[in-house]
Amino acid sequence: MKKNLKSALAVAVMLSATFSIHAAKAGKVISRNSSKTSVSKKAESRSLEITVSLAHNQTAPDNPYTFGAKAFKDKLEQVSGGGATATLYNGNMSEDEGELFKKLQSGEANIVVISPGYLTSLGVAEVDIFSLNYLFNNFAHWGKVLDGPFGSELAGIVNQKTNGKIQILGYWSAGVRNYYGKKPIHSPKDLKGMTIRIGSSPVQQQFWKGCGAIPASVGWGVLYDALNTGKVDSAENDYTNMSLKNHHKAKNGKYICETEHDFTTRLMLVNGDFFNKLTPTQKKWIKQAASYATQVERQKTFEQASGSKAKTIAEGAVVVENSDIDTAAFKAIALPIQDEFAQKNGMERFLKMARQ
């Protein structure tokens, strides 16, 4: 009996040891499979790694564009788990938007922030709707229109007309633009015979000529010198951008008159050839980062507006408030130009959306 019991116990011990050995081996196998899975995930992550170049034309570190660009980089790295990053060119690729647009088309820059009007050179005349003065009433109106069907449908037009080579990632703000020059103005008649630095858009040219002014073409990087030497009598821009370049300190930049003629839109554009080659995951990363950057840039623009105004006044600028501007007289010139543009370019529905 005792011998049988000892024999049974010996068998049990032997079976237990055998089971432990097999379990240990199984455990090692499981561990190896887990390691392979980890390696596989790391390999997959490496295969999705990308570096995106983003450029704009503003050199000042406190410019809203710079904050927006940094937000893009940070968000891209976050959502990708470090698999993607961005190289930022804060005005050091070029201060000329036309040059940046060329670099976007060539692929030297993957993403740029520029004025909409440059797309007209590719046959997208519709984007010049953003050059129409007095299209928007305030920042809230501007944001509501662009974040609705107006903005999404216009992005579709750009994609279609450029055959996907240029795509809109976001609508950035460049503040609300005002006149500034060598003398104060209150109505269009005060502009008669004055040179004013503006963009190349035909509808902008038409508006300022309608006010009696003489449009002048001057590069952003040399505008301070042009104002200071008297090459141009005046210019127009928002408080933040003009003050960061010290235009209010130039001889012909002292008087800032709040015409508030343009709640300005800038386009965050991506090179379609670059974007279309990305995986769905990589595209998702970039869209998420672009959306976040757009909100950061806008908020920074809105926050800085009042502070920039105070800064210019403290540094000697003379401000004519919007309440002292004959806005109705300026709008009387602007509205027919809006109607004419919409009819010519099949944008009546877009104009209606903006005016609602």
| pLDDT for the residue numbered 48 | 81
| pLDDT for the residue numbered 43 | 52
CA–CA separation, 268 and 107 (whole Å): 15
- Per DSSP, which regions of 183-233 are E strands? 195-197, 214-216
Number of residues that this document lists for the chain: 356
Q: How far is CA 115 from CA 13, 270, 293, in A?
A: 82, 14, 17
Return the sign of the alpha-carbon dihedral for residues 44, 45, 51, 52: positive
Give the tokens for residue 249: 């300190």
| pLDDT for the residue numbered 199 | 85
Its pTM stands at 0.83
Write a three-state SS string for 326-354. CHHHHHHHHHHHHHHHHHHHCCHHHHHHH
pLDDT digits 0-9 by tens, 78-95:
999 999 999 999 999 999
CA–CA separation, 133 and 216 (whole Å): 17
| Crossing angle of helices 280-314 and 64-79, rounded to 10° | 150
pLDDT digits 0-9 by tens, 20-78:
333 333 333 333 444 444 444 455 455 689 999 999 999 999 999 999 999 999 999 99
CA–CA separation, 141 and 163 (whole Å): 31
Mean pLDDT of 172-182: 97
| pLDDT for the residue numbered 200 | 82
CA–CA separation, 198 and 318 (whole Å): 21
CA–CA separation, 266 and 154 (whole Å): 13
